[in-house]
Every structure is written in structure tokens, then in C-alpha cells.
Amino acid sequence: MLKNKVIKPTEGELEILGVLWEKGEATVRTVYEELCKTKDSGYTTTLKLMQIMFEKELVTRDSSSKTHIYQAAVTKEKTQKQFLNKMINGLFAGSSADLVLQALGGHKASNAELEKIESLIAELKAKK
């Protein structure tokens, strides 16, 4: 596989990565049980998807015991940034301001979230 190629996880793969990011490492059974809490999912479907993710190098697999243990091979932050950049460029014509305005306009932000946003804006202004 080409190391420079960026692999974009599918929606199903993102759900599995979410479980692995939360737990650190997990068996297929653990991932399957977590997914079943929020949607109908089949064990063999989960297994096959995780095997594909291993081939795509989205996850690593410890095969030293009978039960394979999987870990995310991509970070949550890198994946979020990858999707966010695609969204900014594709949906907001490269304008991160438009993205932020849309997000804040359609979502009621808590005082803590607003303080974090204000702090980030102050940081960004200080860097200029």
C-alpha cells in the first residue's frame, strides 16, 4: 500500500474507529457489542469490516492469541482534521468562517463551549 495515500474511512469504519478510540483496544466481539447498543449490526459484518480496515491499515491487529485484539492505526484528531478539511473545501468554498458560522447558527453552544471558542480566537489573533 502506498504510504502517501490518504485512506478516508467509510461511515461504518468511523463507527468502529469510534469504539476503538474510546476503548484503546478491543476484540471484534467487544466492538460488535458496542455497535449493537446504537444500531442493528451483525457480528460477521463487523468482523469483515474490521478485516478490511486491517488491510487498509486503518487498524492494527495483534494475532498472537486465539482472539485477535484490534487498535486504531489512525488518530481521532487526524481523522477529524481530514474530514473537516474536505468539508471546508467542498461545502464551504474554503471558508472556515462560513463553517463556524453555520455550526454555531444551527447548534446551541454552552457557555463553556463559547469560552473555548473565544479563547481559541484570542490565541489565533495573538499569532498574527
pLDDT digits (tens, 9 = 90+) for 59-109: 999 999 889 999 999 999 999 998 898 889 999 999 888 888 888 887 788
Segment 13-17 shows an average pLDDT of 96
Give 11-72's CATH code, choosing from 3.30.420.40, 1.10.10.10, 3.40.50.460, 3.30.413.10: 1.10.10.10
Is the pLDDT higher at 86 or at 47? 47
Q: Does residue 2 have a pLDDT over 80?
A: no
pLDDT grade for 117, boundaries at 50, 70 and 90: confident
Q: Closest by alpha carbon to 46, among 22, 65, 24, 20?
A: 20
The predicted structure's pLDDT at residue 103 = 82
Q: Does residue 5 have a pLDDT over 70?
A: no
Segment 110-121 shows an average pLDDT of 89
Residue with cell 474510546: 22
DSSP helix/strand/coil, 33: helix
Q: Does residue 110 have a pLDDT over 90?
A: no
The predicted structure's pLDDT at residue 4 = 52
Residue with cell 492469541: 65
Rounded to 10 deg, the angle between the 11-23 and 43-55 helix axes is 90
The predicted structure's pLDDT at residue 3 = 52
Where do the structural domains in the chain lie, given as residue ranges? Answer: 11-72, 76-127
Q: Which DSSP helix (H) or strand (E) runs through 60?
A: strand 59-62
Amino acid at 1: M
> Diameter of the chain by CA atoms?
55
pLDDT digits (tens, 9 = 90+) for 29-39: 999 999 999 99
